[in-house]
């Protein structure tokens, strides 16, 4: 029996850590005994399946001053890391683990994982799903420290961000191996550690499989968070549809569906009004995991939102939504092309197009519309051998091979 201890941050909605969730299920089927310790999210009852799952409760379910104090204590003196370490040593036995895997999107809980690996003399594999550097000056990773003195806020935030990166790097240097999700991330991490492995995100091949369903409308679909247009910008799509309408070439059965957060919807409506396509755009709430597949099956085109690779913009973003569309073999329309890792994978898999101009978007939509008119559905001719490289099973195989290098019977 091979035993794995996974340390990770809080599983976040709407997908609840799909990378680690599917990995654990696949490892369990391969005979692994897995224990997970994650941060507990307030007001969320979530458990990783096929393993023992312990949730570390740092923040209270009651919102208020107490959580603000806890937040500041974490920022000032790493209180959360220290309590997390104590929680693990109180609830997990050294005999329950042959290896530690730590999966993080920024810094927490890498310092705890490094400390525990040293204390228990266990190998440590660190999985970096995101890096602070990938977001540039876009707002996703900006959590400013607010004080009564506005001039002080930026200074404190920058100092804290720099400190977090230094703490992250110190922990990473003690790991036996690093794993990350894109060639861009791999290149950055190779400046910190000599052994960095690329394991892409992927799709569950049992769920995300092709299914040709005829539809009455040509559905252009986006499912997922947007956060901010500097991160994920739909303007090129809206502009292309507006130009098709203005030129009298917009097919009458086109519908655009966004399943996204409420905060961004006013901006989507404003953009739709700007291009005179408000009647085409339909905004919906997030859907449960088990409902996403039906939406994808009834989609004619799956939209992946990114943005241009500005010097201070985002880099290396490999959204799970792309891999899910790849799994169901639906045409992928990436707007605007990141001109980096995602565009390259779209090209090598023949999954669709990473567009840089409105003319490219218009031609793609009209081509797929003609296919839909002829068959009642669309099916992208992705390359089968490339598609299989991004299954969750293949991902688990890659992780397992790496873990077994450091586990001795």
Same domain, 186 and 246: no
Q: Which two tokens stand for residue 133?
A: 């550097």
Alpha helices in 229-357 (DSSP H): 235-246, 265-274, 289-297, 320-328, 341-349
Does 226 share its domain with 197?
no
Instruction: Report the pLDDT value the prediction gives residue 313, as an integer from 0 to 100.
Output: 66
Looking at the structure, tell me whether residues 243 and 166 fall in a common domain.
Answer: no
| pLDDT score, position 152 | 65
- Cβ(354)–Cβ(342) under 8 Å? yes
Q: Which residue, 38, 34, 36, is CA-closest to 55? A: 38
- Domain count of the chain? 2
Query: According to the model, what pLDDT value does residue 50 have?
Result: 87
Shared domain for 380 and 395, answered yes or no, is: no
Helix (H, G, I), strand (E, B) or coil at 375: helix
Answering whether pTM is above 0.95, one says no
Residues 375 and 380: their CA atoms lie apart, in Å, by 13
pLDDT for residue 199: 98
Whole-number Å distance between alpha carbons of 203 and 329: 12
Partners of 55 in the beta sheet? Answer: 38
In a domain, 259, yes or no: yes
Whether 298 contacts 284, CB under 8 Å: no
194 occurs within a structural domain: yes
Would you state the structure tokens that stand for residue 146, as one six-digit string? 């607010």
Which residues are within 8 A (CB) of 273 and not within 5 positions of it... i.e. 6 or more apart?
Answer: none
Same domain for 108 and 83? Answer: yes
Cα radius of gyration rounded to whole Å, the chain: 22
CATH of the domain at 29: 3.40.50.2000
* Number of CB atoms found within 10 A of residue 312's CB: 9
Residues 57 and 170 both lie in one domain: yes
Residue 384 sits in the same domain as residue 395: no
CA–CA gap between residue 50 and residue 9 (Å, rounded)? 18
**Residue listed under structure tokens 């293949």:** 394
- Looking at the structure, tell me whether residues 382 and 292 fall in a common domain: yes
Q: Give the Cα separation of 204 and 196 in Å (integer).
A: 24
Measured CA distances, 257 to 25, 55, 144, 222, 313 (Å): 32, 36, 33, 6, 26
Range of the domain at 63: 2-202+391-404
Let me know if residue 162 belongs to a domain. Answer: yes
Residue 47: per-residue pLDDT: 77
Q: What is the pLDDT of residue 377?
A: 98
- Check whether residue 57 and residue 194 sit in a common domain: yes
pLDDT tens, residue by residue, 88-104: 999 999 999 999 999 99
Q: Are residues 13 and 32 in the same domain?
A: yes
State how far the Cα of 133 lies from the Cα of 313, in Å rounded to an integer. Answer: 10
**Which stretches within 174-230 are classed as H helix?**
183-189
Task: With respect to residue 213, please indicate whether it lies within any of the assigned structural domains.
Answer: no
168 within 8 A of 110, measured Cβ to Cβ = yes
Q: Are residues 38 and 182 in the same domain?
A: yes
In the numeric block, which tokens belong to residue 149? 């003195």
Tokens representing 46 are 């979530």
Shared domain check, 330 and 235: yes
Backbone angles phi, psi at 250, to 5 degrees: -80, 120
- Measured CA to CA in angstroms, residue 113 lies from 108, 147, 168 at distances of 9, 32, 11
In a domain, 208, yes or no: no
Give pLDDT < 50 ranges for the chain.
142
Following DSSP, what letter does each residue of 61-115 receive, concatenated?
SS-SHHHHHHHHHHHHH-HHHHHHHHHHHHH--GGG-SEEEEEESSSTTHHHHHH
């Amino acid at each position: 029996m091979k035993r794995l201890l996974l340390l990770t941050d809080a599983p976040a909605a709407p997908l609840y850590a799909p990378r680690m969730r599917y990995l654990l299920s696949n490892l369990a089927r391969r005979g692994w005994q897995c224990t997970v310790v994650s941060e507990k999210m307030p007001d969320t009852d979530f458990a990783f399946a096929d393993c023992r799952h312990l949730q570390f409760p740092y923040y209270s379910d009651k919102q208020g001053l107490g959580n603000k104090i806890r937040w500041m204590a974490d920022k000032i003196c790493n209180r959360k890391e220290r309590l997390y370490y104590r929680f693990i040593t109180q609830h997990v036995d050294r005999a329950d683990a042959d290896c530690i895997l730590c999966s993080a999107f920024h810094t927490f809980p890498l310092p705890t994982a490094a400390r525990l690996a040293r204390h228990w003399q266990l190998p440590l594999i660190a999985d970096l799903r995101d890096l602070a550097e990938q977001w540039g000056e876009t707002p996703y990773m900006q959590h400013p420290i607010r004080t009564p003195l506005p001039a002080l806020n930026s200074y404190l935030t920058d100092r804290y961000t720099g400190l977090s990166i230094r703490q992250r790097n110190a922990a990473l240097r003690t790991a036996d191996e690093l794993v990350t999700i894109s060639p861009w991330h791999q290149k950055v991490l190779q400046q910190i550690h000599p052994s960095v492995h690329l394991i892409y995100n992927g799709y569950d091949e049992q769920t995300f499989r092709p299914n040709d369903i005829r539809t009455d409308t040509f559905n252009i679909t986006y499912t997922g968070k947007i956060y901010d247009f500097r991160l994920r910008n739909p303007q090129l799509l809206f502009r292309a549809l507006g130009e098709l309408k203005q030129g009298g070439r917009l097919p009458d059965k086109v519908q655009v569906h966004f399943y996204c957060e409420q905060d961004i919807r006013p901006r989507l409506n404003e953009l739709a009004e700007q291009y005179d396509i408000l009647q085409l755009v339909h905004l919906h709430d997030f859907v449960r995991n088990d409902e996403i597949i039906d939406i994808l099956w009834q989609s004619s085109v799956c939209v992946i939102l990114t943005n241009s690779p500005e010097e201070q913009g985002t880099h290396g973003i490999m959204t799970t939504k792309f891999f899910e569309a790849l799994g169901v073999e639906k045409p992928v329309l990436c707007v605007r092309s990141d001109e980096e890792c995602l565009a390259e994978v779209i090209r090598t898999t023949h999954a669709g197009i990473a567009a840089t101009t409105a003319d490219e978007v218009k031609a793609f939509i009209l081509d797929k519309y003609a296919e839909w008119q002829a068959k009642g559905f669309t099916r992208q001719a992705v390359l089968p051998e490339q598609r299989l490289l991004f299954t969750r099973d293949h991902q688990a195989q890659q992780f397992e091979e790496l873990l077994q290098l450091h586990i001795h019977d």
